[in-house]
Structure 1
């Protein structure tokens, strides 16, 4: 598998899938709690500080929780 949106300096390894799965699991855990968009965004950044391009996270938080 080759990630389409990633830091090009990082290799395509199975760990990429593990990291993405953890990210999506955190989203699934937090969304039912219905935090304000800012709190959701900040919590996800705290849990995944090395994710590339946090803008889609912010837009998603506003759409899903705003």
Structure 2
């Protein structure tokens, strides 16, 4: 994605954040989809929000 391209064009801590954030969002979406299949839509939305917050806070 765009974050990864930016990181590889100019590797730095700031661009690494955007590279990892894009991956975090993608992985949270995949986990949310799995939760939706197993737990239902309402629970999946709660889990997705939690995973997004956890992933973003891990990058800080």
- Where on the TM-score scale, by shorter chain, does this alignment land: which range? 0.3 to 0.5
TM-score by length of 1: 0.41
Between structure 1 and structure 2, the one with the greater Rg is 2
Structure with greater helix percent: 2
> Taking structure 2 as the reference length, what is the TM-score of the superposition?
0.43
